[in-house]
Amino acid sequence: MSSSRPNLPDWEKEIRCPRLGGPVKFEYCCAENQGRPCARALTCWSLSFAVEEFFHKNMSVEQFEECFNTETKPKVVALIELIEKARKTLEEKSSRE
């Protein structure tokens, strides 16, 4: 039985991003995570095309595992870490002046 989903993304199609709350194209999802795919891309795009197959063809096994098989931090934890990093950067900058 063949899949009814296309093998390649429709680069013009937009879906609602659950993280941003607005429409995004697949291209954004491919580079959202500091140049790497968003960890949610497999879930978000799975109804549109064979997204897992696409990433397996375009990434090494290690890259795929790193992007999609690691636990993501809760948003609050990630924000606190970003705030702490910014605070340390400011402290370092002011100590150099």
Residue 25 has φ and ψ, to the nearest 5°, of: -95, 160
Alpha-carbon distance of 73 to 3, in angstroms, equals 33
Closest C-alpha among 10, 9, 14 to residue 50: 9
Domain boundaries, the chain: 14-71
What are the structure tokens assigned to 69, written together? Answer: 């098989």
Give the predicted TM-score (pTM) of the model.
0.65
Q: What are the pLDDT tens digits along the chain (97 aa)?
A: 445 667 789 999 999 999 899 999 999 999 988 889 999 999 999 999 999 999 999 999 999 999 998 766 677 888 899 999 999 999 998 888 7
Residue 68 has φ and ψ, to the nearest 5°, of: -115, -15
